[in-house]
Amino acid sequence: MDTDAVVIAAGRGGGGDSRLHLVRDNAQVVRSIARELAGYRGLLVVVTNPVDIMTQVAVEASGLPPQRVIGTGTMLDTARMRQVLGQRLDLEARSIHMHIVGEHGDSAVPLWAGARIGGVPLRDWPGWNREDEPTIANTVRRAAYDIIRRKGATNHAIGLVTAALLRWALRGERRVLTVSRVQEGALGVSGIALSLPSVVSHEGAVEVLEPEMDETEREALERSADVLRKAKSEL
């Protein structure tokens, strides 16, 4: 196949249910497509939900190297979080450096400990209250469900994220993005696909980074990985 990238976005929507409820139905769809991509030399981008598990299914079915099969992961979650924080702090969202890692879904992990604004820790920002963090995280976590309830799908935002991912990757910009890929030991996670900040180029997620995390966040990431392992084991 003479293309630079293939995007898999096929599958049924969630209807407001947890993304993990879609596992069996969408795994069949992704598996059937990925099998046709054995030997493909370009970048395979997975959008179908639950995106972390579908990314792993695509790797297994295609036989492609894990770095060249990437899911949109928590890119949208991270963008939403920065937008919410920007509104709260009266700052441009791009001035806020924070990531959400783990599952694109209910067990996603906001990395408050490493969040920075102009090099200043978010938790040292004037007026910041740690007690507000769970409420903010829940607002971001529920955003997709609220959109689905109102309009039936979340196609616009994820479309923008996917287009940006392809543009940056195929131009070889080597941006750090919270894409999902099968992990191979970063932060002690291996054998499951989830999101961590990664250097993304036309060759895929070529380097997985290990961001600053406190103990609570590390434990939450382990729980997120366990949630995904359990769901994957039920296929």
Question: DSSP secondary structure string, 172-234?
Answer: T--EEE--EEEEESGGG-EEEEEE--EEEETTEEEEE------HHHHHHHHHHHHHHHHHHHT
Residue 151, pLDDT score: 47
Annotated catalytic, 104? yes
Which structural domains are found in the chain, ordered by start? Answer: 5-71 (3.40.50.720), 75-233 (3.90.110.10)
Q: What is the pTM of this model?
A: 0.92
Residue 186, pLDDT score: 97
Residue 141, pLDDT score: 87
Residue 235, pLDDT score: 86
| Residue from 21, 97, 99, 104 carrying the catalytic annotation | 104
Residue 148, pLDDT score: 45
d(CA 198, CA 180) in angstroms, rounded, equals 9
Residue 152, pLDDT score: 47
Q: For each successive 10 residues of the chain (235 residues), what is the average pLDDT? A: 93 64 88 97 96 98 98 96 96 97 96 98 97 95 63 72 97 98 97 98 97 98 97 90
